Amino acid sequence: MGQITDLLSVERTDPETVELTYSDIKCLDPEVFLKSPVINFYIQYLRKSRPCDDLYIFNTYFYSKLEEALSRTGECGSQFSKLRRWWRSVDIFKTPYLLLPIHGQVHWSLVIIFMPAKEIKSGPRVFHLDSLGLHSSDKVFGVIESYLIEEWRHLQKDSSYDIPFSDTIWRHLSRNIHKEKIEVPQQQNDFDCGVFMLYYIDKFIQEAPDDLTGVRPCKFGRKWFSPVEASGLRKRIRVLLIDIFQNAPPSDRNLVSHADDDSEDEEDKGKDTIVIV
């Protein structure tokens, strides 16, 4: 219960706040696609299990904003500067692991960016994990590479910036970004992509090393875990959320009403609450 209590005690002004209503739990029903509020909740839950100084997980909305900013010809610089607030508390080149959920075509996949230690003669490594292979890895790699280069250009303007890589790697960063589509366990149905994406994050957080001496931060592969094991995460998240709602203090209940939502029956409307985590 300690971790649940911590989730409920986060200030509402926290930029990482996630708002959930009781009806959001519906997406955890069998054969239903997971929605962003539930995914972002579980991302925050997982972040508390690993020190924040070596890991940063963007929420589900960031990647689409990044794509939009990079696609605006002639406006990329100004649009990108507005995006910087999303990671204002994090130096992405000094954070060993960056994780980005990707959503598109009614599907979820995951990018993991591995920033090696300065003594390693290697640049950033970008891994794409997809439980159905529906997202174009080449397209994803193009967006991520552009993101890293734009931030690199920005930091180069600061002569006092403490360069995180060897000088050779840093001077020629664009040619030292390595990209790899990772073989991972595949979902056995059409609706568990969000569950698998979260399970990739969960397993990675458990297994990623602290010493950063290798070029692969985890033992990926088709046999990394069993698909049944991943699909079981849906039920565990549901149990966790129901527990949180049932234990929410009165001050965090009934803050939002969805009475105008015709998709809910009267019983669900009566139970609809919100928790700030």
Residue type, 70: L
Distance separating alpha carbons of residues 71 and 246, to the nearest angstrom: 44
User: How far from the centroid of its chain's Cα atoms is residue 255's Cα?
Assistant: 27
**Residue 99 β-bridge partners:** 57, 112
Has 107 been annotated as catalytic? yes
Instruction: Say if residues 58 and 100 touch (Cβ distance below 8 Å).
Output: yes
Considering 24, 130, 192, 272, which one is annotated as catalytic? 130
Has 218 been annotated as catalytic? no
The CA–CA distances, whole Å, from 132 to 43, 46, 190, 196, 212 equal 21, 23, 9, 10, 29
Considering 107, 192, 218, 252, which one is annotated as catalytic? 107
Residue type, 110: L
Angle at 212 between CA 210 and CA 217, to 5 degrees: 90
Helices (H), ranges, the chain: 2-8, 36-47, 62-71, 76-83, 137-156, 167-171, 193-207, 227-231, 233-247, 266-271
Considering 27, 103, 192, 193, which one is annotated as catalytic? 193
Write the CB contacts of 120 (distance below 8 Å, at least 6 apart in sequence).
212, 213, 215
Tokens 């399970």 found at:
199
Has 103 been annotated as catalytic? no
Distance separating alpha carbons of residues 166 and 174, to the nearest angstrom: 14
User: Catalytic amino acids?
Assistant: 107, 130, 193
